[in-house]
C-alpha cells in the first residue's frame, strides 16, 4: 500500500524540513548537538545556583552560534535569517535564557 501523501505528519506538521536547504539543516543539527552536549548539562546547576557560567558565551562563539547573520568578511557565518531562527529554536529547546543570551550577543552592533 502506498503512503498517503496527504497524511498529517506529527513530527513536522508544516513540512518545514522539506523546505530547508542542506546548509540550513547542517547548521541546525550542529546547534542541536551543541545545545544537548554543552548547554543541557548546565541547566540544573544554573537554576540551583541562580547564576550563569560566563564561559558559555565563548563556547557559543567558538561553535559559530553567535553572529550567524553577520557577513563572513566581518567574522560571521553569513547565514540567512531562516538559519538564525533554526539555531535559536534548538537553543530554546534547552532553555530560553540561553536563547536570549545568544540573541542579544548576536544582535549587538
Tell me, yes or no, whether 27 lies in a domain.
Answer: yes
pLDDT confidence band for 109 (50 / 70 / 90)? low
Tell me, yes or no, whether 12 lies in a domain.
Answer: no
Count how many domains the chain has: 1
Tell me, yes or no, whether 102 lies in a domain.
Answer: yes
Question: Residue 76 above 80 pLDDT?
Answer: yes
| Residue 11 to residue 37: CA distance in whole angstroms | 22
Round the average pLDDT of the chain to a whole number and report it: 91
Single out the residue of 59, 46, 37 nearest to residue 96, CA to CA: 46
Tell me, yes or no, whether 3 lies in a domain.
Answer: no
Q: Read off the pLDDT of each residue in 82-101 and give the average, rounded to a whole number.
A: 95
For 57-69, write each residue's pLDDT tens digit.
999 999 999 989 9
What is the extent of the structural domain holding 36? 21-107
pLDDT confidence band for 3 (50 / 70 / 90)? low
Write the CATH number for 65: 1.10.540.10
Tell me, yes or no, whether 74 lies in a domain.
Answer: yes
Which pLDDT score, from 0 to 100, does residue 106 have? 81
Tell me, yes or no, whether 8 lies in a domain.
Answer: no
pLDDT confidence band for 1 (50 / 70 / 90)? very low
| Residue 63 to residue 57: CA distance in whole angstroms | 10
Tell me, yes or no, whether 38 lies in a domain.
Answer: yes
Q: Is-contact 28 83, C-beta < 8 A?
A: yes
Tell me, yes or no, whether 89 lies in a domain.
Answer: yes
Question: Residue 99 above 60 pLDDT?
Answer: yes
Which pLDDT score, from 0 to 100, does residue 105 have? 85
| Residue 89 to residue 99: CA distance in whole angstroms | 8
For 33-43, write each residue's pLDDT tens digit.
999 999 999 99
| Residue 32 to residue 63: CA distance in whole angstroms | 11
Amino acid at each position: 500500500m502506498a503512503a498517503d501523501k496527504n497524511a498529517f505528519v506529527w513530527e513536522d506538521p508544516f513540512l518545514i524540513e522539506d523546505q530547508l536547504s542542506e546548509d540550513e539543516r547542517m547548521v541546525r543539527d550542529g546547534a542541536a548537538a551543541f545545545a544537548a552536549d554543552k548547554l543541557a548539562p548546565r541547566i540544573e546547576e544554573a537554576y540551583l545556583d541562580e547564576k550563569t557560567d560566563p564561559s558559555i558565551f565563548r563556547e557559543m562563539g567558538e561553535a559559530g552560534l553567535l553572529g550567524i547573520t553577520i557577513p563572513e568578511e566581518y567574522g560571521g557565518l553569513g547565514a540567512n535569517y531562516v538559519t538564525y531562527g533554526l539555531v535559536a529554536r534548538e537553543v530554546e529547546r534547552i532553555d530560553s535564557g540561553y536563547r536570549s543570551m545568544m540573541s542579544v550577543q548576536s544582535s549587538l552592533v
